[in-house]
Amino acid sequence: MPPATKYCSGCKLDRSLTDFRKSSKYSQGRHFRCKYCLRLATARWIAGHPEYGRQFRLAYKKQADLNSRRSYLLHKEKVKRRGRLWRKENPERDKVMRSAWKQKNPERVKKFQAKAYLRHRSSIESHLNDSMSASIGLSLQGNKAGRHWEILVGYTLQELKVHLESLFTEGMTWELLFRGEIHIDHVFPLSRLIFDSAEDPTFKYAWSLGNLQPLWKRDNFRKGNQVPWEFAKEKVA
């Protein structure tokens, strides 16, 4: 049986083998100095070489960050679940920590916000959702009462997308709609329909799928608040 202890040339003591780092270069497969003496020697050397110590700390931090990132990617879902649970159980602490992080990292916050905005605006669904929410809120003069527009009109965002796309004429694209070259028009003008609440049947008609159509910006400006038959006469003329 191999001895359970080893002599340390640093502290001059016999120590347990577990106090020495493994190394095939030395006797018994362990380093000639114990872990504690190695740490002390390393600390002394770094203190005498501050520039190397700084480089060492930067390299160590870089490797630690890389290891942390790898671990996160391997256990992403588990980490997210644990995070959601902690935030749910500690809402006040979470709020304080988020606020402190934002104050400490204003540039990163701006970068995240800009990235989220671009991602949000590049989505057809997000653009339509924002447009409908704002337009309906305006038409109700603030009487939306926090309700989602889908509940008020009786159809879904996906149904609206399919409806509008089915009415696209030659040259129409969602990108042009995003840029404002195409408008979401009310076939029977909103300005000529009177209602005061989302429960009013006239509101339901005004915002029904059948009363919404994609229309080129120039045609929408020409149409103004004309009803369909009036606009039809103008186009013929």
- Which of 137, 233, 227, 153 has the alpha carbon at shortest distance from 188? 227
- Hunting for tokens 């997000």 — which residue is that? 126
Cα–Cα distance, 39 to 91 (Å, whole number): 41
Identify whether the C-beta of residue 131 lies closer than 8 Å to the C-beta of residue 184: yes
Over its C-alpha atoms, the chain yields an Rg (Å, rounded) of 34
What is each CA distance from 147 to 125, 155, 215, in whole angstroms? 18, 14, 28
Of 2-6, 28-32, 88-92, which range is least confident?
Answer: 2-6
Cα 204 from Cα 136, distance rounded (Å): 11
Q: How far apart are CA 155 and CA 224, in angstroms?
A: 26
Q: pLDDT tens across 64-118, in order?
A: 888 888 888 888 888 889 988 998 899 899 999 989 999 999 998 888 888 777 7
Give me the pLDDT at residue 3, please.
Answer: 60
Q: What single letter denotes the amino acid at residue 74?
A: L
Q: What tokens appear for 83 in the block?
A: 């995070």
DSSP assignment letter at 26: S
- Coil, strand or helix at 230: helix
Are residues 180 and 217 in contact, defined by beta-carbon separation less than 8 angstroms? yes
Which residues in 134-165 are b (16+ Cβ under 10 Å) and which e?
A: eebeebbeeebeeeebbebbeeebeebbeebe
Question: Per residue in 226-237, pLDDT tens?
Answer: 877 776 666 555
Share of the chain above pLDDT 90, in %: 30
Round to whole Å and give the CA distance between 131 and 136.
8
More confident residue, 83 or 57: 83
* Residue 123 DSSP label: -
- Helix 76-89 to helix 91-104 angle (10° resolution) is 110
Tell me the domain boundaries of the chain.
5-45, 50-104, 121-236
| CA–CA gap between residue 19 and residue 5 (Å, rounded) | 9
Distance between CA atoms of residues 35 and 78, nearest Å: 34
Whether 28 contacts 6, CB under 8 Å: yes
Is the pLDDT assigned to residue 1 strictly greater than 60? Answer: no
User: What pLDDT is stored for residue 119 in this prediction?
Assistant: 67
